[in-house]
Amino acid sequence: MISINHGEFADPWRGPKPMTQIPWIHETAIIKDSRMGEWTVVGSGCEVIASDIMDYAYMIKDAEIFNAEIGKFANIASHVRINPTNHPVWRATLHHFTYRAKSHLMADEDEEANEISDWRNSKRVIIGPDVWIGHGAIVMPGVSVGTGAIIGSGSIVTKDVEDYTIVAGNPARLIRRRVSEEVADTLKRIKWWDWERTRLVAALGDFRKLDATEFAHKYGEI
């Protein structure tokens, strides 16, 4: 057997380019018409269009996000798709030559008022703070994912996901709650994701050693 160490990691946790307060964006990522908060990460091969990425949220690699609000401290695994665009099922054809006629050299301009674009833009996806979206999951247009929720790998989410629940499957269904409703309510009242960075650093030991219930007891007076 030959010992091999080849290549460089393409992320800020293991690679040569560390995180900073300024958004960390891999050179192969595409970001258009979007805004990003502090300590955010967009990994290799990701595409972010018309979206807001809040503080500390990250996506690993090859994720595609369109017309979405990604909450603080969101954890997005590789190959996740958020808000894949639908096609006009009410028309005689599903093909985009009808609304991208200019690209197909079939008209001088695309549709006036662009009905399809307006329709797609009306279906914004909202991802709450501290959400974990597993590898290869798809969140469909117009869906809201609640605070602290988990979406299992490979799931297709077609309906809203409640706070602090775990969903999985195709279509995604409730598996169980992450924490009790009482603890969830307390965590939402604490809103640790809105704390200043100095307070987060001061509480780092508790984030590490306390479970969610213990943390809620300490900081929220259950």
Tell me the pLDDT tens digit for each residue of 68-104: 999 999 999 999 999 999 999 999 999 989 888 888 9
Instruction: Give 117's pLDDT tier (boundaries 50, 70, 90).
Output: confident
Query: How is the chain split into domains, by residue range?
Result: 1-86+124-178, 88-122, 179-222
Nearest-angstrom CA–CA distance, 99 and 103:
9
Q: In which band, very low, low, confident or very high, does the pLDDT at 222 lie, cut at 50, 70 and 90? A: low
Q: What mean pLDDT is reported for the chain?
A: 95
Question: Which of 6, 79, 87, 217 does the annotation list as catalytic?
Answer: 87
Which pLDDT band holds residue 113 (cuts at 50, 70, 90)? low
pLDDT given at position 110: 82
- Asked whether residue 135 carries a pLDDT value surpassing 80, the answer given is yes
Helix (H, G, I), strand (E, B) or coil at 81: strand
Query: 182: part of which helix (H) or strand (E)?
Result: helix 181-190
**Per-residue confidence band for 182, with pLDDT thresholds at 50, 70 and 90:** very high
Contacts of 161 by beta carbon, 8 Å cutoff, 6+ apart: 143, 144, 145, 146, 149, 151, 167, 172
Homologous superfamily of domain range 1-86+124-178: Hexapeptide repeat proteins (2.160.10.10)
pLDDT tier, 190 (very low <50, low <70, confident <90, very high otherwise): very high
Q: Is the pLDDT of residue 112 over 70?
A: no
Q: Is the pLDDT of residue 179 over 60?
A: yes
Quick count: other Cβ atoms within 10 Å of Cβ 70? 29
User: Taking Cα atoms as reference points, which of 79, 99, 96, 82 lies closest to residue 34?
Assistant: 82
Residue 87 annotated in active site: yes
